[in-house]
Amino acid sequence: YLTDEGKDNLVSSLPKSLGFSVGLDFRDGNLLLNAKSTVPFKAGMVFNLAVSLSGLTLSGSARASANDESAVKNLSQYGLVIADMVAVTDKNADIMTKFGRDRGDISYSMLDESGDDDEESDEDDADRKLAKKIAKQEADEPSGGRKSSRLAANAASGAADVEGVAERERKQIELMARKNEERLRELARSSRKKGGDEKSKKGEEIEAYKSTKTLPDNVLPNQVKVDMANQCVILPICGNPVPFHISTIKNVVLPDPDNAAYLRINFYTGGMAVGKDCPENTAKLVQKYAPYATFIREMTFRSLDSHSLTTAFRQISELRKRARMKEIEEKEEANLVKQDKLVRTKNERVPRLSDLTMRPVFAGRKTQGNLESHTNGLRFISTRGEIVDIMYANVKHAIFQPCENEIMVLIHFHLKNPIMVGKKKQQDIQFFTEVIDASQAVDAGKRSMYDPDEMDDEQRERQLKKRLNEAFKDFARKVEGVARKNGYSLEFDIPYRDLSFIGNPHKEMVSIQPTLNCLCNLTETPFFVVDLSDIDHVHFERVTFMSKAFDMVLVNKDFTKQPFRIDMIANEEKDSIQEWLTDMEISYTEGPMNLNWKQIMSHVLGDDRFYMDTEEDEVTAKEAGWEF
């Protein structure tokens, strides 16, 4: 390019490398942009593209035209570096450095070799210097001629804590501003994709019988008849049989008989709450016809023969139960994504783990079996012949947790789309082996520490832990290799035990451990797995000097979902958790009381300018995003 532009004299000023790849490390030394590199560009690669010129001579006319106080007067040579972060996509390159490139948008500052520090860096270090100054003053204060080394150490650690808190708060302010801009762009892209085509689904009209000819023939004029096949109850009104679909019946009551038996049937009607047990389609129809239709609220039937009404009561109750179960199953299977069929590996040795226990279980029974790794997924076969297939493409996070202080070693899969296990939809599947039985772990405390049998048991337990950890680790490594060989990306994370803390995500205190991509508790059920990429903000509640514990609320990026909660975390863990959140680039705030998050999320969901710092008039300032 320089030769074509007639700038041959600048070729010698170019560097040996024009940038480098950015991955897990900021600079990947194995992938440099130079003449020796033979790696082809692929979609998904990210590079730091840096073009520099060094050793350029500054002409005398340029020095003469500079200001007398400028450092340019003392320069004879200069260099120039222009760098951008560039991502390779399927179509073209995406420049990720989102800043202005005009001359007016760029500021230059030149200092001589003996120049002082920049004023801006002094401002950034103001908190740090203030903390050191306070610590020095406390150390120099006379205290009767004798100074305690422990007090001096406490003062130094206090200064370090103040310095760390100030640095963390400064990073959080920058992070909050950057996150607000990113979320604005994400919401703009998602609104363009939706295109305003979302329409509320209308209720489907209920049709029990297409015509009167299809009514059952054996219906008597004054009989309550239940048609199980068509899910319909035929009730006598003025001697005429009138069908009512089972979804319109709210409940049925059979009072204690006196001289005669009574049967009361209540229906869903407009003008009153239908309740959470109401079928979704029926609720929509009630809402549709409520403004102008007349509803039957209840009907009561009296009979001297209690047997017929008792039979009708049992049949209606059974039919309502069946209809309810069918609706629940349809809801469970409504959002299921169809999975690919498993391709079994042939003519090769299949990686296998034997004698595993799966959670969740099939039909309330302990599920044991073998786990195998095949071409495009894993297959678990229980001892009763039940099969669960997990596709590599459907695994969002795979976690391997070795056994250290727990009683089990496990492999956990957090899925992108739920799958059916038995009759329930599940998004977390786990396979584990217990090192010692849970009941044995409780009873073992009654034995003496000097008992030789106890020492032998502990030795065997340590050996078993080591052997199982190696077996699970080797299996995880083999699964990663099989997936990579067949073009799938699958990596197992290991929880960071040093960052773990005790909290209550559900109904009991458990150990919460972060991984590279998640915050999870996998030992106790129900599982607690939070994908950090889905978290928009974290808020700490009940942060006061009086309380010994605080609560942590993790707000989902999808505002239609309620936030995750972890309660009763010890105050000693707050600084380490906040430090970890800052390293993971997740913004956080804290407050002294619990908030009504249901109301907050409904407000945020309806606020189109939530992440903007101005009101609708674009003049009145307001707090942007979660700063409020």
- The 3-state DSSP class for residue 577 equals helix
* Among the ranges given (10-19, 244-253, 462-471), the one the predictor scored with the smallest mean pLDDT: 10-19
pLDDT band at residue 540 using 50, 70 and 90 as cut-offs: very high
Side chain identity at residue 282, one-letter code: T
| pLDDT at 136 (0 to 100) | 55
pLDDT(446) > 70: no
Q: Of 132-141, 171-180, 184-193, give the range with the top mean pLDDT.
A: 171-180
What is the rounded CA–CA span in Å between residue 628 and residue 618?
A: 18
Average pLDDT rounded to a whole number, residues 518-533: 93
| pLDDT at 126 (0 to 100) | 57
The first and second tokens of residue 282, run together, are: 């029926």
Q: What residues contact 154, with CB distance under 8 A and at least 6 apart?
A: none
Determine what percent of the chain is predicted with pLDDT higher than 70: 84
Average pLDDT rounded to a whole number, residues 231-252: 90
541-584 per-position pLDDT tens digit: 999 988 899 999 999 988 889 999 999 999 999 999 999 999 88
CB-based burial, 265-302: b 16+ in 10 Å, e otherwise: bebbbbeeeeeeebbebbbbbbeeeeeeeeeeeebebe
| pLDDT at 181 (0 to 100) | 83
Torsion angle of C-alpha atoms 158, 160, 162, 166, degrees rounded to 10: -170
pLDDT band at residue 173 using 50, 70 and 90 as cut-offs: confident
What is the rounded CA–CA span in Å between residue 53 and residue 392?
A: 47
pLDDT band at residue 180 using 50, 70 and 90 as cut-offs: confident
pLDDT(442) > 70: no
193-218 per-position pLDDT tens digit: 554 444 446 778 888 888 888 888 88
- Sheet with 395-401: strands ordered across: 387-391, 377-382, 365-373, 352-362, 424-434, 408-421, 395-401, 492-493
Q: Quick check: 513 and 502 in contact, CB under 8 A?
A: no
Tell which wins on pLDDT, 457 or 138: 457
42-86 per-position pLDDT tens digit: 888 898 888 888 888 877 777 777 776 666 777 778 788 888 888
Q: Quick check: 323 and 337 in contact, CB under 8 A?
A: no
Q: Quick check: 283 and 273 in contact, CB under 8 A?
A: no
| pLDDT at 144 (0 to 100) | 46
pLDDT band at residue 145 using 50, 70 and 90 as cut-offs: very low
Alpha carbon 541 to chain centroid, angstroms: 20
Q: Quick check: 493 and 519 in contact, CB under 8 A?
A: no
Q: H or E stretch including 215?
A: none
Q: Quick check: 592 and 543 in contact, CB under 8 A?
A: yes
pLDDT(223) > 60: yes
pLDDT(512) > 50: yes
- Sheet with 518-521: strands ordered across: 501-503, 510-514, 518-521, 528-531
Q: Strands 535-541 and 588-590, how do they pair?
A: parallel
Q: H or E stretch including 44?
A: none
User: 10 Å Cβ neighbour count for 47?
Assistant: 22
Q: Structural domains in the chain?
A: 8-99 (3.90.230.10), 220-334 (2.30.29.210), 338-491 (2.30.29.150), 495-628 (2.30.29.30)
Tell which wins on pLDDT, 3 or 401: 401
Q: H or E stretch including 625?
A: none
Average pLDDT of the chain, as a whole number: 82
Average pLDDT rounded to a whole number, residues 115-126: 49
* Among the ranges given (71-85, 110-124, 276-290, 337-351), the one the predictor scored with the smallest mean pLDDT: 110-124
pLDDT band at residue 29 using 50, 70 and 90 as cut-offs: confident
pLDDT band at residue 425 using 50, 70 and 90 as cut-offs: confident
Give the number of C-alpha atoms closer than 13 A to the C-alpha of residue 513, restricted to the C-beta side.
18
Tell which wins on pLDDT, 152 or 529: 529
What is the rounded CA–CA span in Å between residue 383 and residue 358?
A: 11
Q: Strands 395-401 and 408-421, how do they pair?
A: antiparallel
pLDDT(130) > 80: no
What is the rounded CA–CA span in Å between residue 118 and residue 121?
A: 5
83-112 per-position pLDDT tens digit: 888 898 888 888 888 776 666 566 565 554
Location of structure tokens 């044995």: 440
User: What letter does residue 614 receive in the DSSP assignment?
Assistant: B
The first and second tokens of residue 16, run together, are: 């040996």
| pLDDT at 160 (0 to 100) | 60
User: What letter does residue 252 receive in the DSSP assignment?
Assistant: E
- Could you give the maximum distance between any two Cα atoms of the chain, in Å? 120
Burial of 219 (0-12, 13-18, 19+ CB in 10 A): middle
Q: What residues contact 185, with CB distance under 8 A and at least 6 apart?
A: none
| Phi and psi angles of residue 195, each rounded to the nearest 5 degrees, phi first | 65, 15
| pLDDT at 305 (0 to 100) | 83
| pLDDT at 5 (0 to 100) | 77
The first and second tokens of residue 244, run together, are: 């009512």
Alpha carbon 323 to chain centroid, angstroms: 34
348-371 per-position pLDDT tens digit: 899 999 999 999 988 777 889 999
pLDDT(127) > 60: no
